[in-house]
Structure 1
Amino acid sequence: MHEYTSTARVWGLSCPGSPEEVSRARRWTRDILRGCPLADEAELIVSELSANAILHTASGRACGSFHLKLEIPPRVIALSVTDEGGTNTAPKAEHPGESAVRGRGLDIVDALAHSVVIHDSQDGHTITAHFFVDSGNEPTT
């Protein structure tokens, strides 16, 4: 392999922190992963993480934004959403009771993805969901 080439493909999208951008993030994900058996799961994860960024961090404030990154190296899909922080706590699964109407977003992400990594920095939080695909199910983007 040439030192400047890679079989990995990477896409990025920055969105203003308004609720209507969640649907834009979903469409973007669906368009990139069209034909991939994991596209529905990835779309739902993007929806949950984007909504969480807007609802729970500085991303949802005036002039806020959130950022998506989709990487497809061989046999892996890595989908990341980065918020602008502004909270004193890191994102975490809450495991709410049956009557709760909120707090299941990261539980859903954790159930759908093969692994979830949360990275905190002074500038915000990045949550990355990984899907491991066999060679017959790789995206054809």
Structure 2
Amino acid sequence: MHEYTSTARVWGLSCPGFPEEVGRARRWTRDILRGSPLADDAELIVSELSANAILHTASGREHGSFHLAVAVSAQVVAVSVTDDGGTATAPKVEHQDQDAEHGRGLGMVSAIAHRVVVHDSDQGHTVTAELFADTRLGGHPC
């Protein structure tokens, strides 16, 4: 492969921090991944990560937003949600009781995804969940 080309395709979407935008982010993700066996898992992950951004960060405040990226290659589907920050700590997986009303979303994402990476910066947090499409990596073909 040439160093300036890639077989991955990447889409991006910015959404105002309103709860109804979570549904928009889900539909957008489903449209991109139409026909992929990973679409349902990716849609669920986007829903959780987008809702977390709105509920737990400055993304849900007045004039807040969150940003979604979907990257697709033959090997992996990666979904990333970047929030507006405003919290003292980065998102982390918490192991809650089954009856807990909050704190289980990122744990669920990490159970579905093959890999979850949290990147913390001065501008906010980005959570990326990767679903392996390549059967040699333990995933399903796209």
Which aligned pairs between 1:1-141 and structure 2 lie closer than 5 A? 1=1, 4-134=4-134, 137-138=141-142
**Structure 1 pair 2/90, CA: closer, same or farther in 2 (3 Å)?**
closer
Which SS does the other structure have where 1:111 is aligned?
A: helix
Q: Answer whether contact 2:74 2:134 (CA < 8 A) is retained.
A: no
Deviates more, 1:92-101 or 1:38-47: 92-101
Q: 2:84 is paired with a residue of what secondary structure? A: coil
Amino acid at match of 1:67: H
**Corresponding pairs, count:** 138
SS of corresponding position for 2:88:
coil
| Amino acid in structure 1 at the alignment position of 2:66 | F
Per the TM alignment, residue 72 of structure 1 is displaced from its structure 2 partner at its CA by 1.1
Q: Work out the CA distance in 1 between the residues paired with 2:10 and 2:59.
A: 23
Alignment partners' CA distance in 1, 2:47 and 2:65: 15
Q: Give TM-score scaled by structure 2 length.
A: 0.92
Q: Aligned equivalents of 1:115 and 1:79: distance in 2?
A: 11
Using the alignment, how far apart are the partners of 2:89 and 2:5 within structure 1?
39
> 1:46-78, CA deviations, whole angstroms, 9 ceiling, x for partnerless residues?
000000000000000000000000111231111
RMSD, matched Cα? 1.4
Percent identical residues: 71
Q: Which amino acid in structure 2 is aligned with residue 101 of structure 1? A: E
Give the 3-state SS of the residue equivalent to 2:118 in structure 1: strand
TM-score (norm 1): 0.93
Q: How far apart in 1 are the matches of 2:84 and 2:92?
A: 16
Q: Deviations over 1:59-101 (max 9, x none)?
A: 0000000000011123111110000100001101111123211
Residue identity matched to 1:81: V
Residue ranges of structure 2 left out of the alignment (5+ in a row): none
Query: Which secondary structure state, in structure 1, belongs to the residue aligned with residue 127 of structure 2?
Result: strand
Hey, what's the Cα distance between the residues in 1 that align with 2:35 and 2:79? 17
